[in-house]
Chain A
Amino acid sequence: MKNPAHALFLLFALPISAGEPITYDNLPLGSESKPLLLSTYMPDPGLDEAYFAHHGKSAKSPKYNPGTGKDIPGEYDPIKGLPASLGVSFGPALSYAFDTVECRIAYAWQGGFLDMYPYWGDPVRGSRQSYDYVPQLVGILFHKANPMSEIFVDGKRLTDLDHPKFVGYNLENGTPAFLFSRGGHEFKLKVTPNTKTPLSFSFTLSSPDKIAITYDTPNGDRTTNTLTRTVTGTALGNFQGFPRDMKIKEASVANGRKLFDGLGCSACHSVDGSLGHGPSLAGLYGSKRPIEGTQELVHADEAYILESIKNPGAKTAKGFPPNYMPPYILKDLEYQSLVLYIKSVAKGQ
């Protein structure tokens, strides 16, 4: 768009509270202005057993043969997952899981949201993955809830207050603010991305009651009844969604395009020069690229493109935040196909 003012006008002309509809795209993504909220099964990326204080605990169960109506040797193993959580995506800036059973932020990550493929299934065939249907994370996990909350309410840890009860949420200009009660108090929790510091988010926890809400210390002022805080984490794991065999038999532009769409690259990188969460690939290959933290331009050759896929944090394109893209571990033919496709896009093919 040639006229930036026009672009700005269009942006604000859109109703802020109306999100984008869910499509067959198994890699849905919100944005900072239009966060996406999904009530869904969500993965458990290794939360501590003690975290699940208010969940039920399942068990192995004898295998059953529906043909004979009898148990047979072997056992069904329970799988990992959060049964009743709300996934929220602000685009690559921040995603988090709000657990409606524990009434807590279970974990947070950056650089993507959920791969719904195992659950929603192939757009054409429509089948979920039989026993492996929990949606999978895309991005860099940087925060997992500790069993004991760092938040104190009138000197008591939030997690020591009994009867967590999820009430619902309001969309405040599209951003969810969760309501719950615990220990006889009502709370409102609102989480937002913090774009100033990598691998972090901000939250505000407030209550209509006259209580002190503090972080890392039991002592606090009762008159505030509000806590605003930024939580900064470290990279705890990289996730690239459900492992799919794209059945790539040769390196080609067509296969590169298939991967580009299938892996969700297109959610952030345009191929026509338009703005996105990440740099456009139009004209990228062969150009000189400005990089964050250095005055020197970098030549966008094959090595640069490969490095940007394998280790995106090595060089961050100027004007874009770090950690918005997770590293992608692929097969050699897949890397080669993506490079061929990105080269073809640069040439305008």
Chain B
Amino acid sequence: MKLSSILTLLAVVATASADDYTKCYQLDDIALPNGVPPEVGGLTFSSDGWLYVCLRRSDVFRAKPGEDPKAFDWKLFASGFHNGCGIYSPEPGKILVTQMSDLTSATDTDGDGVADQYRIVADDWGLSGNYHETNTFCPDGKGGYFLAIGTASHNGSVFEHTKGEYSVFGRRGRNFSSVKNRGWILHLDKNGVITPWASGFRMANGIYTDPDGETWSGDNQGDWKPVTPFYHIEKGNFYGHPSSLVWDKNWPKDKDPLLTYRNDLDAYNKHRTEAAVLVPYTVCRSASEPIMIPRNGSFGAHYAGQYILPDNNGTRLCRIMVEKVDGVYQGMVTYLQNGGGLRSGNNRVAFSPDGKSLYVGQTVRGWGAPAEGLQRITYKGGTPFDISTIHITPDGFRLTFTGDIPDLSANSFQVSSATYQPTWVYGGVAQNKQKHSVNKLAKTDEHTVAISITDFVPEKVYEIKLPDLKAADGSLLNNNIFHYTVHKIPGASKRSGLPF
């Protein structure tokens, strides 16, 4: 080993708690074929190592990724899809794509590298002619799939003649569900049987089943979605956007769900299931596809097992940690990456087979200034100075740093809380705002500190800021703003009674 290498190694060890994030994670722009609109609707790796990229105007390209981000050898594999916003490869030479009207498979049956057989796999939903009705999906881990069926927008029309039945009540409001199963998550089992799974989505633009078989989705902040939610998806639940209820067999046919819940928020709050984690608008404006950071540490042991929630309307990827308290998921959100060359329009994500690189596909076409393309974030080693986890305690939180605990006092923290009541209004304001003090601070191990909070009650979102925190070597904390959604306080039976 050369002396310079040894010195570098020593340097890494010496500053293990304070590596610069950009040294740990390298961002590359991946070039897509020249002249092709790089609007990435879907992204997936097949078991034989191809990276498939579904572009929204029609085409699916594939390449075997190499080091050089500008030298991927892209081949057109399939084409003709209508706004394909979800892709998965169940076996070599075969892909599934969710387009506007259906889930279609495309198979290369003769081995020439181009799909020649297209089959409808599922289409148990309607298509109104509205431009906004995109769909996405994920494998359920059991040979089937979860499909997230998007709603229509009042910024567009419906056609005189729709695919499938039309609902007059479903057409009402801002984002609407005028045709079957819009605003639903459907389950397609391995035998092809499709079941309506959960309702109440505005635009679950991204769905994910983790290695434990738990299914997660975001939704798009807007009407009935005051902030960006991160939902744990379970069968039979209603997640809060009323329009989709017109397709619920238990909802009375003569009742307008929008009007009903606009006039009766109490009944609405009883019916709906809350998000596991609420992400304030300032942190994420438009959630897209969640994914778990590999547990084996390939993308950094300090974030292993946490979720990434990309922002389709900001140059950032959120990082979410969940824990179960009294049987309910709740947890913390901060950034994995905020800026640093990342584009906006973050829409789809996929880890490379070695788990070291995160591919991020971007598109915002039709929703703002174009931010389209494909980027790659590769973990190069090292540990950024960050707070890796925040766990709840009976009287506050336990914060674990990625390295040694820096100098801290109660004044290092700025803690506040708020609630967010969904209504028909687009977006929402924080209610029941309160400032809290840190009245106790204790080191529980060499990386962890526990804080207790004044007036600590459940059913609120707590913001924890550490504005000027520095590591021993003077480097700034990679993230200094964290939000923890408290549904339950361990060991406490009290409820705040606040609308949440």
Contact = CB atoms under 8 A, between A and B. Distances in A.
A168 B104 contact: yes
B101 interface: yes
A180 to B, nearest CB: 10
A83 B162 contact: yes
Contact of B35 (A23, A44, A126): A23
Contacts of A69: 223, 262, 423-425
A121 B366 contact: yes
A3 B117 CA distance: 37
B357 interface: no
Interface string B270-312: 0000000000000000000000000000000000000000000
B112 interface: yes
Interface stretch (A54-62, A156-164, A241-249): A54-62
A83 B131 contact: no
A207 B38 CA distance: 40
Contacts of B119: 167-168
Contacts of B162: 55-58, 83
A302 to B, nearest CB: 35
Interface stretch (A32-40, A185-193, A270-278, A287-295): A32-40
Nearest to B170: A61
B160 interface: yes
Contact of A126 (B129, B165, B366): B366
B171 interface: yes
Contacts of B158: 58, 61, 76, 78-79
B166 A56 contact: yes
A131 B156 contact: yes
Contacts, number: 176
Contact of A39 (B76, B99, B173): B99
B428 to A, nearest CB: 12
Contact of B59 (A15, A22, A82, A128): A22
A55 B159 CA distance: 10
Contacts of A107: none
Interface stretch (B77-85, B205-213, B409-417, B492-500): B77-85
B33 interface: yes
A120 B161 contact: no
Contacts of A76: 154, 157-158, 171
Given A58-B158, A133-B156, A41 B79 contact: no
B208 to A, nearest CB: 25
Contacts of A59: 166, 168, 171
Nearest to A81: B159
Interface string B110-122: 0011111111100
B58 interface: yes
A22 B79 contact: yes
A224 interface: no
B55 interface: yes
Contacts of B171: 58-59, 61, 76
Interface in A250-278: none
Interface in A170-218: 170-172
Interface in A43-69: 44, 52, 55-59, 61-62, 64, 66, 69
Given A23-B37, A56-B162, A101-B163, A170 B157 contact: no
A232 interface: no
A57 B160 contact: yes
Interface in A67-113: 69, 71, 76-84, 86, 100-101
B36 interface: yes
Q: Which of B81, B105, B131 has the most CB of A within 10 A?
A: B131
Interface string A110-131: 0000001001110101111011
Contact of B366 (A128, A168, A172): A128
Given A15-B112, A22-B36, A64-B174, A57 B154 contact: no
Contact of A55 (B55, B163, B178): B163
A69 B117 CA distance: 46
B166 A39 contact: no
A118 B345 CA distance: 22
Contacts of A23: 35-37
Given A39-B80, A57-B161, A59-B166, A18 B117 contact: no
A88 B423 CA distance: 45
Interface residues of A, number: 58
Interface string B434-477: 00000000000000000000000000000000000000000000
B365 interface: yes
Interface in B4-51: 33, 35-37
Interface residues of B, number: 64
B370 A44 contact: no
Interface string B77-108: 00111100000000000000001111011000
Contacts of A56: 126, 161-166, 179
Contacts of B115: 171
Given A58-B158, A120-B57, A83 B127 contact: yes
Interface in B154-207: 154-166, 168, 171-174, 178-179
B79 A19 contact: yes
A320 interface: no
A77 B424 CA distance: 23
B365 A22 contact: no
Contacts of B76: 18-19, 21
A82 B160 CA distance: 9
Interface string A1-35: 00000000000000101110111100000000000
Interface string B128-154: 110100000000000000000000001
Given A21-B76, A24-B35, A78-B157, A127 B366 contact: yes
B426 interface: yes
Given A58-B162, A64-B154, A18 B114 contact: yes
Contacts of B55: 22
B173 A22 contact: no
B164 A40 contact: no
Contacts of A101: 163
A24 B155 CA distance: 24
Nearest to A168: B119
Contacts of A40: 82
Given A39-B82, A58-B160, A130 B114 contact: no
A166 interface: yes
A175 to B, nearest CB: 11
B57 A80 contact: no
Given A17-B114, A19-B76, A66-B426, A79 B159 contact: yes
B62 to A, nearest CB: 12
A24 B116 contact: no
Contacts of B173: 64
A258 B262 CA distance: 52
A21 B127 contact: no
A69 B115 CA distance: 47
B370 to A, nearest CB: 4
A125 B160 CA distance: 29
23 contacts: A15-B112, A21-B36, A22-B79, A23-B35, A24-B35, A38-B80, A39-B58, A55-B161, A55-B163, A56-B126, A57-B166, A61-B158, A69-B262, A78-B160, A79-B159, A80-B159, A81-B161, A121-B366, A130-B155, A130-B156, A167-B119, A167-B120, A170-B118
Given A55-B162, A57-B160, A57-B162, 8 more contacts: A19-B79, A64-B154, A69-B423, A78-B159, A84-B127, A120-B57, A131-B157, A134-B129
By Cβ-Cβ distance, the 5 closest A-B pairs, closest first, are A168-B119, A55-B161, A69-B424, A39-B82, A56-B162
